[in-house]
Amino acid sequence: MTKHLTRREMIGAAAAASMCLSPAIRSLLADGSSRAFKIGACDWSLRARQNPAALEVAKTIGLDGVEVSFDGEDQFDLRDAQVRRQYQEVSKRLGIAIPSLAMGVLNRVPYATEPEAERWVAECVDVMAAMNVKVVLLAFFGKGNIIDNQELQGNVIRRLKKVAPKAEKAGVVLGLETRLDADAHLRILDAVGSPAVQVYYDVANMTNGGYDVPAELRRLGRDRICQIHMKENGCLLGDGKVDFPGIKQAIDAIDYRGWLILEGATVADRSLEDCYKANRKFLDGTFSRG
C-alpha cells in the first residue's frame, strides 16, 4: 500500500533532500526562487560618481549592477573609448553589470533649452550602443524642471522626436525622470510616438510630490516604464513614507521585471556599506516572488 505523506513530512523530506545538494547548487536554487529582480545602485549614491570605483563598492555590498553617470568631461568621460573599455573590463572582472547610464548634468544644463544638452543626449546614445547599455536616465530637476510649463514640454517633445529614431536604431531607451504625473508623462510619450522614449520612475520623488505611486505605476504600465529608482530621503528603505508593499503589488500587476536601482536611503549613524546591505536585504524580501 502506498503511504500518503503528511504536509509536514513532505516538507521535511524536501529539506533533507536539499541538504544532499552541493552548497553552490543550493545557493543557485535559493536565489532563483526568491530573487525576482536584479538590484543595482546609482554611482553617486555609492559616492563614486562617474568613476569605475563604484563597481568595486557595489561588489562589496552584494549588488548586481551600477547606474553610471554620463556627466560630460572629467577623468572618466564615457565618450572616450579607453574609458569605456576600462568600465567594461572592471564590469566583467567583478561580475557587476551596468544596466543604465544617468544624465544628472541635465539638471543644470536643461535639455529643453540648451543646445549642448541636446548634443550630449545624442552622443550618449552612441556611448550606450558602444557599451551595450540599454537605458539612460534623462533628468528634469533643478534648472531642468518642466512641470507646469507647456512651452518647455513642447521643446522636449520636439527634441525627443529628433533623437528617438537614432535611439531606436541603437536599441536603447531614453528614460524621462521628471516631476510630472502619469497623465502628463503619457501625453509626452504619445506625442513622441517612439518605444525608445519611456519613463524612469522614482518612487520617493513621486511620493514626496503627493502622487499615488502604485496607481501611477499601473497607469503607466510595463511598456512605458524603463527602470525604477528605489529611494528614501534621510532613512533606510522601509522606514519612510514610500509605500513599498503597494509598489510591489503594482509592479506585479503590470508584470514589470526590470532593474530596481537604489538611490539615497542612508542614515548618518551607519556606514554606506551597512546602509546599502540593509537596503538590498529589504528589497530582496519585499520584492521576492510570491
Report the residue count for the chain. Answer: 290
**179-211 residue pLDDT tens:** 999 999 999 999 999 999 999 999 999 999 999
Find out if CATH 3.30.420.480 is the number for domain 36-283.
no
For position 251, what pLDDT does the model report? 96
Q: What is the pTM of this model?
A: 0.87
For position 71, what pLDDT does the model report? 87
For position 35, what pLDDT does the model report? 52
CA separation for the pair 175, 172 (Å, rounded): 10
For position 49, what pLDDT does the model report? 95
For position 5, what pLDDT does the model report? 40
CA separation for the pair 160, 83 (Å, rounded): 27
Distances (CA, A) of 232 to 102, 178, 215, 248, 253: 18, 17, 19, 16, 23
CA separation for the pair 99, 136 (Å, rounded): 9
Task: Print burial letters for 234-271: b (CB count within 10 Å at least 16), e (below 16).
Answer: eebbbebebebeebbebbeebebebbbbbbbbbeeeee
Residue whose cell numbers read 531606436: 168
**237-263 residue pLDDT tens:** 999 999 999 999 999 999 999 999 999
For position 289, what pLDDT does the model report? 52
Residue 12, number of CB atoms within 10 A of its CB = 12
Domain positions in the chain are: 36-283
Flag residues of the chain having pLDDT under 70.
Answer: 1-35, 73, 289-290
Q: All 3 cell numbers of residue 2?
A: 502506498
